[in-house]
Amino acid sequence: MKILSVVIILSIIITQNSISQTSLDEINETRCKHSLNGMTAFSAWTGGNLISGTVGVLTTSGELQHFFEMNIYFNIINAGIAIPGLVSAIKAKSKGLSFEQTVKESQKVKTVFLVNGFLDFTYITAGFLMREIGHNNSHNKSLQNRFLGYGDSFIMQGSFLLLFDFIEFAVHAKNGKRLEGHWKKFSFKPYGTYGAGLSIHYNLSHNEERSPNEFVLKSN
């Protein structure tokens, strides 16, 4: 009888874990989709800037020429990020990840965009500093044009990256909130004499109330 009960319990756990895994797969698939869309947009921005920058350098002069010049430098670096980032987004694993792996991936991608956001502010700040240096070198027109053009480029590139990172962080944070439903399934309760032990409850059903499909781990 005990063996039969164990088999029934294991069957319930396996079934409910399958439902839970489907939910995790959906979260991971959405994360990978957002990452791929983001890297596609970033790659398009990079390619567009390299093309327009090249044309601009060849057809303009003065401050505007230096603006396009810095756009090229900036986006050569961006290309070094965009290409491997796009490949990584295409190859990213979206199925079969455990709850722990899903949480780590969600936190990792949000951290990347959060750190990038702070860097974007430094680019914008550097751009304004360059413009200030340019204005203070009115006696040297060539140097002034260079700093003004470079400054405008830093401000524009930094502003785009700040907007991009903000949007990406927001969509990934929204998707990551779907993991809260799994966290809510965990509960911790005292166990044993005088509550010296600890029981960890994980509700395998979709009902938040105590159910017969609740898995309990007890430790003294």
Assess whether 84 and 168 both reside in one domain. Answer: yes
Residues 111 and 202 in one domain: no
142 and 191, same domain (yes or no): no
Structure tokens at 134: 């340019």
- Read off the pLDDT of each residue in 22-34 and give the average, rounded to a whole number: 85
**Do both 174 and 193 map to the same domain?**
no
Flag whether pLDDT at 190 surpasses 70. no
Q: Are 97 and 103 in contact (CB under 8 A)?
A: no
Are residues 81 and 64 both part of a single domain?
yes
- Judged by average pLDDT, the poorest of 48-52, 141-145, 216-220 is 216-220
Q: Indicate if 127 and 215 belong to the same structural domain.
A: no
C-alpha–C-alpha distance, residues 162 and 154, integer Å: 12
Tell me the average pLDDT across 37-41: 96
**Can you tell me the distance from the alpha carbon of 192 to that of 185, in angstroms, rounded to the nearest whole number?**
22
Mean pLDDT on 173-179: 84
Q: Based on the domain organization, do 108 and 171 belong to the same domain?
A: yes
For residue 34, the enclosing domain spans 2-183
| 106 and 44 within one domain | yes
Q: What is the chain's mean pLDDT, rounded?
A: 80
Q: Say how far apart CA 198 and CA 196 lie, in whole Å.
A: 7
pLDDT band at 79 (very low <50, low <70, confident <90, very high): very high
| Structure confidence at residue 47 as a pLDDT band (50, 70, 90) | very high
CA within 13 Å, CB half, 130: 23
Residue 196 phi, psi (nearest 5): -75, -20
Record the pTM: 0.73
**pLDDT at residue number 21:** 56
Give me the percent of the chain exceeding a pLDDT of 70.
Answer: 71
| C-alpha span between 145 and 69 (Å, rounded) | 12
Contact criterion met (CB below 8 Å) for 31 and 174: no
Of 31-45, 87-101, 194-208, which one has max mean pLDDT?
31-45
Which pLDDT value is given to residue 196?
53
Of 63-67, 91-95, 133-137, least confident by mean pLDDT is 91-95
Residue 182 reports pLDDT greater than 80:
no
Note whether 148 and 213 are same-domain residues.
Answer: no
Token pair recorded at residue 165: 């990172």
Cα separation of 137 and 80, whole Å?
34
Count: domains in the chain: 2
Q: Do 92 and 81 share a structural domain?
A: yes
Per-residue confidence (pLDDT) for residue 159, from 0 to 100: 97
84 within 8 A of 19, measured Cβ to Cβ: no
> What pLDDT does residue 198 have?
53
What does residue 190 show for φ and ψ, rounded to 5 degrees? Answer: -65, 150
Q: Are 104 and 207 within one domain? A: no
| Residue 211 shares a structural domain with residue 131 | no
